[in-house]
Amino acid sequence: QQQVKQSPQSLIVQKGGIPIINCAYENTAFDYFPWYQQFPGKGPALLIAIRPDVSEKKEGRFTISFNKSAKQFSLHIMDSQPGDSATYFCAAAVGSGNTGKLIFGQGTTLQVKP
Amino acid sequence: NAGVTQTPKFQVLKTGQSMTLQCAQDMNHEYMSWYRQDPGMGLRLIHYSVGAGITDQGEVPNGYNVSRSTTEDFPLRLLSAAPSQTSVYFCASSYPSEGSTEAFFGQGTRLTVV
């Protein structure tokens, strides 16, 4: 069973739009929630991460919103650009990820049209 | 800095053959992991290691073996390849830190089992 569920599977927006990707989890022991970005032919790279003691974190145009009671978190990309076209993965881990053991969502393929 | 290096980049195997996917990192990271990426499934953890001589199973360990004799290397062995093991394999490394841990991924190995 998938411990971290991600939606939608794919997303198309116009340049300047605000794509939103959602994730839900069941394991309340998770205490670290990163988002990874992957371009074709490359490995994933860390984009932004949040811990459950905060409800929102911003880094540049990327924002994570976290709802601990609902066990949900989401990624918002402000003023999206064609260069943001990539696959995005949410993930979760126990112990701040300090085991090398990440549980990933299914991924969302984002296309930003010029 | 090379980061995380995976070899080979591409491989075709016949059913029943065995092979080893190589992974090396030059960042002196304690933690290393192997994931497989399949369409619609995200990245799934195969095996991980928290240090030399210590390994543990992830979500999908069947059909794979690992060992960690040095900090730098974490090879993944396919014992008897099956078509279900056709996938893209990623190796990742990370280090323990307070608050959050970034995993650094290699470029991947695309494996086809015929």
| Tens-digit pLDDT profile for residues B61-106 | 999 999 999 999 999 999 999 999 999 999 999 987 766 678 999 9
Nearest CA in chain A to B38: A106
Q: What is the pLDDT averaged over residues A27-34?
A: 91
**For residues A64 and A22, what is the distance between their CA atoms, to the nearest angstrom?**
10
**Rounded to 5 degrees, what angle do the CA atoms B23, A32, B55 make?**
35
pLDDT of residue B97: 73
CB B107 within 8 A of CB A41: yes
**Residue B103 contacts A where some CB pair is shorter than 8 Å:** yes
Specify the pLDDT at position B40: 85
Distances (CA, A) of B110 to A71, A87, B52, B90: 34, 17, 26, 9
Query: What is the tens place of the pLDDT at every residue in B5-31?
Result: 999 999 999 999 999 999 999 999 999
Closest CA in chain B for residue A2 = B41
- Say yes or no for a CB contact (<8 Å) between A106 and B59: no
What does pLDDT average to over chain B?
Answer: 94
Does residue A59 contact residue A48 with C-beta atoms inside 8 Å?
A: yes
| The pLDDT value given to residue A95 | 75
How does pLDDT run across A54-108, given as a tens digit for each residue?
999 999 999 999 999 999 999 999 999 999 999 999 999 887 666 678 999 999 9
Strand partners, A72: A24, A67
Contacts of A47 (CB under 8 A, 6+ apart): A34, A35, A36, A37, A59, A62, A75, A88
- Please state the length of chain B: 114
- The alpha carbon of residue B29 is apart from the nearest alpha carbon of chain A, in Å, by 10
